[in-house]
Amino acid sequence: MTLPPAPTVNPLWSAPPPAGSEGARCSGCVWHYLGGRGKAVDRCRRHRNEAIDPRSPACPAYTAAVDCLTCGACCREAYHSVEVGPRDAFVRLHPDRVNARDGRLEITRSGDRCGCLAGGPGDYHCVVYADRPRTCRDFPAGEQSCVDARRRVGLTP
């Protein structure tokens, strides 16, 4: 069986890909994955899990890699509360960074971002990364919630 020719434009977004990604394909993007019901097919998390041809040219949301320690999107204004469980080691290790609100424990905020996030654009980092709570450890880098956070702060178009 012969495959049809590779697409010459991205069918999910007609704008040109970002500078520096010339020749890049959907298959090399962090938002690409195999999944779906039944037989797994190539899909794009940025485009709400639409089926894609992995040979399609990159779209403007093309991202070769996500560096959690410098991105910080999930810790900034993308989410307004990080709940922690009362048995989470973080509560015991950093009680000064936890407050109770409406019967729940959450990490203290510093303005519109997590109180544990330091730095600025291009140099965000978590000051308690080794001790971060389970909520943060379980945040799925490169998954849909990551895409949503990056879109909310303007990192991913």
CB neighbours of 91 closer than 8 A, spacing ≥ 6?
Answer: 84, 85, 98, 105, 133
Q: Is residue 157 part of a domain?
A: no
Whether 58 and 92 map to the same domain: the answer is no
Whether 88 and 135 map to the same domain: the answer is yes
Q: Is residue 11 part of a domain?
A: yes
pLDDT surpassing 90 at residue 5: no
Whether 83 and 140 map to the same domain: the answer is yes
Q: Which of 13, 31, 65 is the last residue of a domain?
A: 65
Radius of gyration of the chain (CA): 19
Whether 38 and 72 map to the same domain: the answer is no
Q: Is residue 99 part of a domain?
A: yes
For 106-152, write each residue's pLDDT tens digit: 999 999 899 999 998 878 889 999 999 998 988 888 888 888 899 88
Q: Which of 37, 65, 93 is the last residue of a domain?
A: 65
**Dist. CA 96–CA 90, nearest whole Å:** 10
Whether 56 and 94 map to the same domain: the answer is no
The Cβ of residue 144 has, within 10 Å, a number of other Cβ atoms equal to: 14
Whether 90 and 24 map to the same domain: the answer is no
Whether 72 and 142 map to the same domain: the answer is yes
Residue 109 pairs with which residues in a beta bridge?
114
Domain that holds residue 79: 68-152
Total number of domains constituting the chain: 2
Whether 142 and 76 map to the same domain: the answer is yes
Mind giving me the DSSP string for 2-59? Answer: PPPPPPSS-TT--SPPPTT-TT-BGGGSTTEEEE-SSS-EEEETTTTTEE--TTSBP-
Whether 12 and 77 map to the same domain: the answer is no
The Cβ of residue 15 has, within 10 Å, a number of other Cβ atoms equal to: 11
Whether 32 and 87 map to the same domain: the answer is no
CA diameter of the chain:
63
**Dist. CA 112–CA 78, nearest whole Å:** 9
Q: Which of 41, 65, 89 is the last residue of a domain?
A: 65
Q: Is residue 61 part of a domain?
A: yes
- pTM for the model stands at 0.78
Closest of 59, 42, 60 to residue 51, by C-alpha? 42
**Dist. CA 154–CA 123, nearest whole Å:** 16
Whether 107 and 48 map to the same domain: the answer is no
For 79-111, write each residue's pLDDT tens digit: 888 999 999 999 999 999 999 989 999 999 999
